[in-house]
Amino acid sequence: MRKLLIFFMILALALMGAGVVNASTSANKQAAIDAGLAYLAGDQQGNGSWINGYGGSEYAQADTGAALLAFTEQYYKPLGWDGKNYLPAVQNAVSYLLGQATTLSLSPANWWGFNGTGGSGVGLQWTNTNEETYGSGLVIAGLIGLVNNPSGGAPLVNPSTVITSSVTSNAAVLGLTYGQVIQKALDSWTWGQSPPSTGNRYGGWRYFTAQNDSDMSTTQWPLVNYLLAKGIPGVVIPGTGSQTAAGVNAFVTACQYPNAAYPSGWPVGSVDYQPGANILSLTHIGGLLLANAFTGGGAGNIANALAYLNAHWTDTANGTWYGNFGNPYAMFALYKGLESQYGTTGAGPITNLNPETTPIDPGATWNWWEDMCQWLCQNQNADGSWSGYQYWYGDLATAWDINILNATAFAPPSVPLPPSVLLLGSGLLGLLGWRRFKKS
């Protein structure tokens, strides 16, 4: 009996040791996240924006939305900001973004009779770029992160909080709640979806609201916003049986080979930018997976898409739009799509992985997410940033890479809303009951 007891004590110690190893190696990811957030905090502009992505200040709204999501999503993790107080950076970013919102008339009603939730007739968008849907998509994602804690804990801001002049003087949002801002922004997507009259462009979105055109790169952003907004009390998104979902299914299916409109010999499962454009970027595979997560299935053929992705998983950035590793847009799009369908644990659908050269999480299954994390940990710059590639570099690439490392959930479950931690809008701009997360 004594020997048996000693055996179990040794076994318990061994398991505890294994846990310590796991925790210490998981710290590689946390260290990369901490360094990335510190870099972003140091690179924020005086007006609360970030401008170091493609186009400089022309894309400041998009860059700021991406950075805001990186800060908010990491705040909700067990280690939070790891003892740092980034609330001023978040507050300044929110004030900047809300100050940049513009109203959009949702009149007349769109092709199926929609002109805003409750017939409001007014939407919101962000328009300081030549491709405003990208800007709006990233801004809305950041604002959703502010009010929606996917872990079920307190959000930074309660969505019922009213926006006052202590935050912004912008009449487009003044007096609205944060939840109403998000609703009106989502309504703009729903209203502006391309109608059936656009032929094989039906069901998607492109660079501008109600452009009556679509591409797979842009179409992912309304889907991301819809998915992230699930579970926010009072916010309504189109359901799986809606006209919106039917349109998404139609457009995504039209973009994937095989299709009679495509030339023979195209790789089965590949997804085009637009039908006939012949731009087979891996970002579009991520969009197809997001479309299926949003619609409940039916957007193209997932099995064929994954087979194509598996064959090209280890491709590195090349040209403007192609490759995976080293291409921030492709990595982030694929991360969003795969996470929304399969989560980040377990074997997952990708088998053509890079070798596990750095054991980030011994004991965990080596899968597509661990593969991405390994690359990110190995390729971070000394200042905490990531270099990025082509259009996607600096602050924008760094924000996206942080969200990959912290396993941001793009299909969060519905959770009850607890009280907020930070009150932005009631005239008390600042901290109410902020607490540091304990290290675990």
Q: What is the token pair recorded at 113?
A: 């009779």
pLDDT grade, residue 438 (50/70/90)? very low
| pLDDT mean over 167-194 | 98
Q: Quick check: 302 pLDDT over 50?
A: yes
Rg (CA), the chain: 22
Q: How far apart are CA 137 and CA 69, in angstroms?
A: 12
DSSP 95-120: HHHHHH-EEEE--S--TTS--SGGG-
Q: How far apart are CA 45 and CA 62, in angstroms?
A: 14
| pLDDT mean over 390-394 | 85
Q: Quick check: 436 pLDDT over 50?
A: no
Alpha carbon separation from 1 to 6, 9, 375 (Å, rounded): 9, 12, 49
CA angle 89/90/93 to nearest 5° reads 85
44-48, 245-249, 261-265, 413-417: segment of lowest average pLDDT? 413-417
> At a CB cut-off of 8 Å and minimum separation 6, what does 298 contact?
249, 253, 292
> Please, which residues bridge with residue 262 across strands?
none
Convert the pLDDT of each residue in 247-266 to its tens digit. Answer: 999 999 999 987 656 666 67
pLDDT at position 321: 81
CB 362 within 8 A of CB 13: no
pLDDT at position 37: 98
The whole model's pTM is what? 0.89
pLDDT at position 418: 54
Alpha carbon separation from 379 to 314, 373, 385, 386 (Å, rounded): 15, 10, 9, 7
Domains contained in the chain, CATH given: 26-431 (1.50.10.20)
pLDDT at position 392: 85
pLDDT grade, residue 128 (50/70/90)? confident
Q: Which of 415, 414, 433 is nearest to 423 (CA)?
A: 433
% residues pLDDT > 70 (the chain): 85
| pLDDT mean over 371-397 | 93
Q: Which of 258, 142, 298, 276 is nearest to 215 (CA)?
A: 276
SS3 159: coil
275-279, 294-298, 360-364: segment of lowest average pLDDT? 360-364
pLDDT grade, residue 72 (50/70/90)? very high
Neighbours of 368 (CB within 10 A): 24
DSSP 216-256: HHHHHHHHHHHHHHTT-TT-----TTSHHHHHHHHHHHHHB
| pLDDT mean over 294-310 | 94
SS3 46: coil
pLDDT at position 33: 97
pLDDT at position 172: 98
Q: Quick check: 10 pLDDT over 50?
A: no
Q: What is the token pair recorded at 255?
A: 């973009």
pLDDT at position 11: 35
Say which residue, 333 or 152, is predicted with more confidence. 333
pLDDT grade, residue 22 (50/70/90)? very low
pLDDT at position 437: 31
CB 68 within 8 A of CB 117: no
Average pLDDT, the chain: 87
Q: What is the token pair recorded at 39?
A: 């870099």
